[in-house]
Amino acid sequence: MDVPTSIYYVAIILSLYTIYGIVYRLYLSPISKFPGPKLAAITWWYEYYYDVILRGKYIWKIQELHERYGPIIRINPYELHVIDPTFRDTLYAGSAKNKRDRWSWHARGMGIDYSMLGTVEHNLHRQRRAALGSFFSKQNVERLQEVMDERIDTFLTRLRHCAEIGKVVNIDHAYSAFTNDVVMQYCFGRNDHRVEADNFDPTFHAVSFNAGISGTMMRHNHWIMRPEAASFVILKRERIDQLEAIRREGKATTNDTSHATIFHDLLKSNLPESEKTSERLAEEAVLLVGAGTHTAAWALTVMTFHLLSQPTLLKQLKDELKTVQPEIGETFELARLEKLPFLTAVIKEGLRLSYGATSRLPRVAPDTPLAYEDWVIPPGTPVSMMIPLTHHYETIFPDSYSFKPSRWLDDATGHLDKYLVSFSRGSRACLGINLAWSELYLCAAGLFSKFGTKENGRLADGGFMELYETDVSDVQIERDLFFPVVKDGSKGVRVKFTT
């Protein structure tokens, strides 16, 4: 057989294989009857175009497709997406009876296959989560208040110095420095003092943020090392070095602490040795530190923008904080802050408009079908929902892009709480929810009790804040790249501090 003939037969085989694939996906697949564009059912290139070529725009195409096809649609050859928020508790349930696996294709882009987030199988995920769960209980997080208070005091001192010289601060960098110092202290018994760093260490913020957004690109191009993925490699190497230092010393790397530290205790635990390798725990550390840094920091950033944009809301918050103002030399009591209705409403609205993770969160019920309205979803089918599309579901959150703490105050029955899903739901919900809430309460109370705006007509203890060359487009999501990404060219939420 000569070469041209060989090429001819190869071409025929490939053509037949392609035709079979198209026919199977359109007519024979277990999800062939579900509505959606035919091109998305046939090929991955449909999703690739919106998520890779247009960089994180598939979220808005999915929203558009729901408007055309209905509440449940097929968005690629294997995956369904549901926009109806009432389905969330069904999809994200998780127990011994209702297993929910992660979809392996979606997990592969993260580069943290051995962490909780990257763990596909339900039971293994439960084992890994159980090993960490007690550290993030409300009781254990409350023991961290001394650490948070010290970091907040240093944070406010830095901002007072900024006010004395009229400095403009990228407030997301500042909040990220605070939240990173806290989570590093909890994980490793030491922190990098980013709050004290020049400009709150924007280099770290960029490296950490790029490590997160690399997942979307790597999911489709997992054989290519993209520039963003290099950031993840840097972070993982740093965490491996820290874990090896703990192993060598058998104690905190810089100082003893009055609270438990996660990785010291994990390394001393009775977990199987295969679960305690530096390679695996480094991936867990990258996840904990990254999520523990960005979620709370971005929520605080969004809250700050909207409060400074609406000074009457800030005045209302400051007036409420006065009712629990601690004595000089003392700190806010977390338990008292948690009972403040307006502060709680401000935080909830900040979480709603900051989303947490914006990525699709597919789940697979491996053994049982799922039911949605008249549809029966076959076992083994990846089904996803997206937090931003829930938080902007107008039937539940009217005027959803507006910052309105009043929507939570008017919700006497707590009906809206089940649709605030910044930390997801079910057995794979964010482990650090109690830590994040504590940071939000304590940091917001500390900052907004000390700093105010000139519109309030009175000098605040710490000075004044005003937005600097910043508008709503600097906090409004444009792209889903695991984290919410705003417009191209944004310089961040910049705040000018003055006396």
Which amino acids are annotated as binding site for heme, given as ranges?
Answer: 430
- Rounded Cα–Cα distance for residues 262 and 182 (Å): 12
Q: In 152-303, which ranges are E strands?
A: 168-170
- Rounded Cα–Cα distance for residues 285 and 106 (Å): 20
- Rounded Cα–Cα distance for residues 433 and 91 (Å): 20
Q: Are strands 101-102 and 451-452 parallel, antiparallel or unpaired?
A: unpaired
DSSP state of 296: H
What proportions of the chain, in percent to the nearest 5, are helix, strand and coil?
55, 10, 35
Q: 191 with 221: CB under 8 angstroms? A: no
Long-range pairs of 310-315 with CB within 8 A, sequence gap ≥ 24: 310/403, 311/453, 311/455, 311/456, 313/346, 313/403, 313/405, 314/448, 314/452, 314/453, 314/456, 315/452, 315/455, 315/456
- Helices 278-309 and 171-188 cross at an angle (nearest 10°) of 150
Residue with tokens 């523990």: 292
For 428: left if phi > 0, alpha if psi spans -120 to 50, otherwise beta; the answer is alpha
- Rounded Cα–Cα distance for residues 162 and 150 (Å): 19
User: By three-state DSSP, how is residue 101 classified?
Assistant: strand
Question: How many C-beta atoms lie closer than 10 Å to residue 242's C-beta?
Answer: 22
Residues flagged as binding site: 430
- Rounded Cα–Cα distance for residues 99 and 92 (Å): 10
